[in-house]
């Protein structure tokens, strides 16, 4: 059929005039071949000589457009990343604690199937570190319960004309009217439509699922700058909605948590938001998943480099409880023709065999060695940067686990310094502070707030408080604070650890039990101080004094005077700030 197309002369495309277009003979017919064999007539020869330069070449087999060969489903499956290829299909495939799965399932059943007719909308907040199975758990439970999931996705770009951009970035324009306003409006419109209408039925989907939930994992950026707008939308949603709303927020290891800014305690209590916090995936659960994937790859006879159990354990330790990162690292390490990875794992195998042949060492010592050398080497496999949650890092410092060391292996102190003898620490305090992703001064605040509950001797408390005071003094100079913060954190952590004589030796580790940790009271005091400065400046502006002088010099003096000329706001502020409370025992 393609060979029967008329060959248009080039003049038809470029507008040139000339001989009439001639039609190419059929390549597949015998008549056309016989015409080629016969001697052409003079008229035909003249016409052919005239038309030949303008005639397109007849399309050959190599010039015809070819459709790309379709990939079979098996080939498309092989090209998928292992995270997608081996994604969990059932609850048994999830590497999540059974208790967390049951909590989410119970909440969904309560607020969807047992919902009262006039009951408003409900909000669920799933938090936890990246790669701990939050989204996978929700999707599998929704499928098992027969629920539709309508998910919000941030729009990639909005259509703006050049005039709109000129108006936005002009000299007299308000920069705050950039697209975030439209993004928040789109988000509110999505919640309204998702609550009112069901999603479109795609091919192969059943239309029997009347129950649904709304999933928000990609939160619009405007709400991080203005959380109040999100709170107003949530209040309206809770009053009018008929289906639950689920937010998924991944924690970060730096101090600024998205959960605290977007969902403060007041909003959580007002809207009865349920918060279910996921923990990092346990190494045992991660090993089960990696073993299952490695066995599946080996059964398919793929030419991949197979890792042994020791290598898988090292890989698990380098991923910090992130199952997604572990699977990606496993795929990267198993790639064929990867000499770098093969060389690395062969070295690790040799090292592990040498360690087995050595004399038996205590488990605690093995753990301490792994924490130093292997954790640094495992990062070459693509593992995540080792990070520790704040309170976990704080517990490592306060509980300060140690290992027993024989007298022959440890140099002895002189007699007058024997009281400072301690067993070897299992941790490096500087590494713990660095992995917490907090500044040294901020970590010292948390340590100062919580260390006293773990001391039993008043003399130990005195020594620890002196170390904390020294650490605070090291950061007192603003110009050198960035340089001195690491030294300050080292003095504070090692000072608190060394001062606690009740935990100086390995045999004294037990008997402590669980004790809650608290955030520093400094946050509340600093907030109150900022509010007092603003109030003092506005109430006593006629005195023309800085807020610090107003609160420390003027207000205590005015509190001693009985001046009826003050208004009620000034009198209340003077009584609040100008008088010290007559309390003997202050609270935490």
**Number of other CB atoms surrounding residue 370 within 10 Å:** 14
Query: What are the DSSP calls for 143-158, one per residue?
Result: HHTT-EEEEE---S--
Task: Give pLDDT, residue 473.
Answer: 93
Q: Packing angle between helix 283-299 and helix 323-333, nearest 10 degrees?
A: 40
Tokens read off for 255? 């101090």
Instruction: Please name the helix (run of DSSP H) or strand (run of DSSP E) that holds residue 55, with its range, or none.
Output: none
Task: Give pLDDT, residue 199.
Answer: 61
Least Cα distance to 255 among 446, 528, 427 occurs for 446
The C-alpha atoms of residue 55 and residue 162 are separated, in whole angstroms, by 47
**Residue 272 DSSP label:** T
At residue 150, what are phi and psi to the nearest 5 degrees? -105, 115
Task: Give pLDDT, residue 102.
Answer: 93
Task: Give pLDDT, residue 543.
Answer: 83
Report the Cα–Cα distance between both ends of the chain, in Å, rounded: 89
Tokens read off for 25? 């003979």
Task: Give pLDDT, residue 492.
Answer: 95
**Number of other CB atoms surrounding residue 198 within 10 Å:** 12
pLDDT mean for each 10 residues of the chain (588 residues): 49 44 44 46 47 49 51 66 87 89 92 73 88 92 89 70 58 50 80 75 58 88 87 88 88 63 88 90 88 84 71 80 86 66 52 48 46 48 64 88 79 86 89 87 93 92 95 90 92 94 81 80 89 87 85 83 73 78 57
Tokens read off for 512? 């402590």
H helices of 90-221, in order, are 98-108, 134-144, 162-168, 180-196
Instruction: Please name the helix (run of DSSP H) or strand (run of DSSP E) that holds residue 398, with its range, or none.
Output: helix 390-399
At residue 245, what are phi and psi to the nearest 5 degrees? -120, 130
Least Cα distance to 361 among 421, 401, 403, 400 occurs for 403
Fold of 96-154+183-194+209-277: Rossmann fold (3.40.50)
| Residue whose structure tokens are 């080292």 | 490
Q: How many residues does the chain have?
A: 588
The C-alpha atoms of residue 398 and residue 69 are separated, in whole angstroms, by 64
Least Cα distance to 421 among 411, 429, 413 occurs for 413
Return the domain boundaries, the chain. Answer: 96-154+183-194+209-277, 390-405+420-519, 524-578
R_g over Cα of the chain: 36
Task: Give pLDDT, residue 169.
Answer: 58
**Number of other CB atoms surrounding residue 377 within 10 Å:** 15
Tokens read off for 154? 């941030």
Question: Three-state secondary structure along 281-296?
Answer: CCHHHHHHHHHHHHHH
The pTM for the full model equals 0.59
Opening angle at CA 193, ends 187 and 197, nearest 5: 150
Least Cα distance to 345 among 323, 386, 387, 374 occurs for 374
Q: Packing angle between helix 522-539 and helix 568-577, nearest 10 degrees?
A: 140
């Amino acid at each position: 059929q393609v060979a029967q197309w008329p060959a248009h002369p080039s003049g038809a495309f470029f507008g040139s005039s000339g001989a009439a277009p001639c039609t190419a003979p059929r390549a597949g017919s015998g008549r056309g071949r016989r015409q080629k064999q016969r001697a052409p007539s003079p008229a035909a020869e003249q016409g052919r000589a005239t038309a030949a330069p303008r005639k397109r070449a007849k399309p050959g087999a190599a010039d015809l457009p070819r459709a790309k060969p379709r990939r079979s489903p098996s080939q498309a499956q092989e090209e998928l990343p292992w995270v997608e290829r081996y994604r969990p299909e059932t609850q048994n495939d999830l590497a999540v604690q059974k208790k967390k799965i049951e909590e989410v399932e119970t909440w969904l059943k309560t607020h969807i199937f047992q919902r009262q007719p006039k009951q408003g909308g409900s909000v669920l907040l799933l938090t936890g570190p990246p790669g701990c199975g939050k989204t996978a758990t929700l999707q599998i439970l929704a499928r098992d319960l027969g629920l539709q999931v309508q998910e919000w996705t941030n729009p990639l770009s909005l259509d703006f004309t050049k005039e709109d951009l000129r108006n936005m970035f002009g000299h007299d324009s308000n920069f705050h009217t950039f697209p975030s306003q439209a993004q928040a409006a789109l988000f509110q419109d999505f919640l309204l439509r998702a609550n009112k209408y069901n999603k479109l039925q795609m091919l192969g989907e059943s239309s029997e699922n009347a129950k649904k939930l709304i999933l928000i994992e990609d939160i619009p950026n405007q709400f991080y700058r203005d959380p109040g707008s999100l709170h107003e939308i949530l209040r309206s949603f809770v009053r009018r909605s008929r289906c639950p709303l689920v937010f998924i927020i991944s924690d970060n290891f730096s101090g600024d948590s998205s959960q605290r800014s977007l969902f403060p305690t007041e909003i959580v209590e007002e809207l009865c938001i349920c918060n279910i916090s996921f923990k990092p995936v346990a190494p045992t659960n991660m090993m089960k998943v990696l073993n299952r994937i490695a066995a599946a790859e080996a059964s398919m006879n793929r030419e991949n480099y197979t890792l042994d159990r020791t290598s898988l354990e090292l890989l698990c330790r380098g991923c910090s409880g992130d199952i997604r990162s572990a699977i990606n690292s496993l795929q990267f390490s198993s790639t064929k023709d990867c000499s770098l990875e093969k060389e690395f794992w062969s070295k690790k195998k040799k090292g592990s065999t040498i360690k087995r042949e050595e004399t038996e060492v205590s488990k605690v010592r093995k753990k301490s060695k792994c924490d130093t050398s292997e954790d640094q080497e495992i990062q070459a496999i693509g593992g995540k940067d080792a990070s520790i949650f704040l309170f976990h890092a704080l517990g490592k410092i306060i509980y300060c686990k140690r290992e027993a060391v024989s007298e022959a292996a440890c140099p002895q102190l002189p007699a007058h310094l024997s009281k400072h003898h301690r067993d070897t620490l299992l941790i490096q305090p500087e590494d713990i502070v660095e992995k917490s992703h907090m500044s040294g001064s901020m970590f010292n605040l948390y340590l100062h707030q919580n260390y006293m509950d773990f001391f039993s001797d008043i003399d130990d408390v005195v020594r620890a408080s002196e170390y904390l005071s020294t650490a605070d003094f090291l950061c007192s100079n603003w110009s050198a604070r960035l340089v001195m913060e690491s030294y300050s954190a080292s003095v504070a952590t090692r000072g608190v650890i060394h001062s606690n004589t009740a935990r100086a030796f390995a045999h004294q580790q037990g008997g402590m039990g669980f004790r809650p940790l608290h955030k520093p009271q400094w946050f509340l005091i600093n907030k109150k101080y900022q509010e007092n400065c603003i109030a003092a400046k506005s109430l006593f502006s006629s005195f023309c004094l800085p807020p610090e002088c107003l609160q420390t010099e003027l207000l205590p003096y005015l509190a001693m005077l009985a001046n009826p000329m003050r208004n009620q706001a000034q009198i209340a502020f003077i009584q609040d700030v100008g008088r010290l409370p007559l309390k003997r025992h202050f609270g935490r």
